[in-house]
Amino acid sequence: MPKTIYLDNAATTMMSREVLDAMMPYLTEKYGNPSSIHSFGAESNAACEDARKKIAKFINAKDNEIYFTSGGSESDNWAIKSVAYMKKDKGKHIITSGIEHHAVMETCEFLARDGFEITSVGVDENGIIKLDELRKAIRPDTILITVMYANNEIGTIQPIREIGEIARSSGIIFHTDAVQAFGHIPIDVEKDNIDLLSASAHKVHGPKGVGLLYIRNTIKLTPLIHGGPHERKRRAGTLNVPGIVGFGKATELARESMKDASKITEKRNYLIDRILKEIPYSRLNGDRDRRLPGNANISFMYIEGESMLMLVDMKGIAASTGSACASGSLDPSHVLLAIGLPHETAHGSLRMTLSEHTTKEELDYTVETLKGVVDRLRSMSPLYEDAMKENKEV
């Protein structure tokens, strides 16, 4: 295998050539400011509006419900902080889940330090939110429910429609971080009862540094970024024209490639099945079926995920332990702990996320490499040695 095998598509994706081609004019000769009245500006403005239309249609929203941002993190911050400060006279209670992305989790923690009360609803052993617990968590002063659409580490897809219904019937605003879902599984903000939704271009073969917040028209969300009258006075700053155009193109391409999502699912299942069958003491994390097409997250007992990651990297495979944002820290993933894994097992986890470009040959090479790496690490592991001794005695 000559080139690197990229199995870290949940961290970011390769930008499509078609996306670059669509962006190129707006990085070069078409440099007008979309706010300007002259024809240069009008051209840029038209390109942004075209992207907005495509993206809105894709999630069954109206054009004027799409607000462009700098990415998923900004969208999450905007949604949660603005609802909190808008509604603080009604109440200061926010409900979230125990497996959110850091952009949501840290924002909630920030608000908690500012007098808001956060209830984190538990998930089952597969990472599906406990709906009964969610219903019970609702109080008269609850102002927001924020639960992610699909998890970035274990790929679990939440019962978003039901969560939306619960929020709607209690008159509570519902935000979902759909960064991992957008462009990978169908989203319908109407059917799903979603009020606010975050998405990001670079997770769907678009450029980095551009995202969106969907804001239902009935919600007059206050700005996070104050300044000029851009984005209907809700998000100041000259529009990232090339980024927005690229996001539009990436969405258009995702609409097509999603029709072939089952091919990615098949490859992912092939990878999971081979690993579980051929590598002893391995387990799949997350729901087998209610899971993003490209996500495989597996724990290998008696090894350290970080060591595994480095060894497979030396063999040309790019994977991840938990989330990229968490790597570099020695704490095990909060998501893996939330689904009940003991610390040691959580530490030995590897996330491999596929794209439509991933081939079966690459997966075969990956499985063979993993077998070698796992064997090697276990042969050096006192934990493994002890466990084997105990097993023999049984």
Which positions are annotated as active-site residues? 325
Kindly state the smallest distance separating residue 41's Cβ from ligand PLP, in Å. Answer: 27
176 is an interface residue for ligand PLP by CB under 6 A: no
Kindly state the smallest distance separating residue 38's Cβ from ligand PLP, in Å. Answer: 32
Binding residues for ligand PLP, rule CB under 6 A, total 15
**Applying CB under 6 A, which part among 55-63, 66-74, 236-244, 342-350 lies near ligand PLP?**
66-74
Of the pair 101, 216, the CB lying nearest ligand PLP is at: 101
Kindly state the smallest distance separating residue 118's Cβ from ligand PLP, in Å. Answer: 17
Among 95, 108, 179, 197, binds ligand PLP (CB under 6 A): 179
Interacting positions 68-87 with ligand PLP (CB under 6 A): 71-73, 76
Of the pair 11, 301, the CB lying nearest ligand PLP is at: 11
Among 211, 286, 293, 322, binds ligand PLP (CB under 6 A): 211
Q: How far is CA 38 from the centre of its chain?
A: 39
Kindly state the smallest distance separating residue 101's Cβ from ligand PLP, in Å. Answer: 4
Interacting positions 102-121 with ligand PLP (CB under 6 A): 103
Site pattern 143..162 for ligand PLP (x: CB under 6 A): -----x---x----------
Kindly state the smallest distance separating residue 74's Cβ from ligand PLP, in Å. Answer: 7
251 is an interface residue for ligand PLP by CB under 6 A: no
Of the pair 323, 369, the CB lying nearest ligand PLP is at: 323
Residue closest to ligand PLP, measured at CB: 72
Kindly state the smallest distance separating residue 148's Cβ from ligand PLP, in Å. Answer: 6
291 is an interface residue for ligand PLP by CB under 6 A: no
Of the pair 56, 179, the CB lying nearest ligand PLP is at: 179
Among 81, 93, 101, 205, binds ligand PLP (CB under 6 A): 101
Sequence-distant (≥ 6) Cβ neighbours of residue 350 within 8 angstroms: 297, 298, 299, 300, 305, 308, 309, 312, 319, 320, 321, 370
- Interface contacts to ligand PLP, rule CB under 6 A: 71-73, 76, 101, 103, 148, 152, 177, 179-180, 200, 202-203, 211
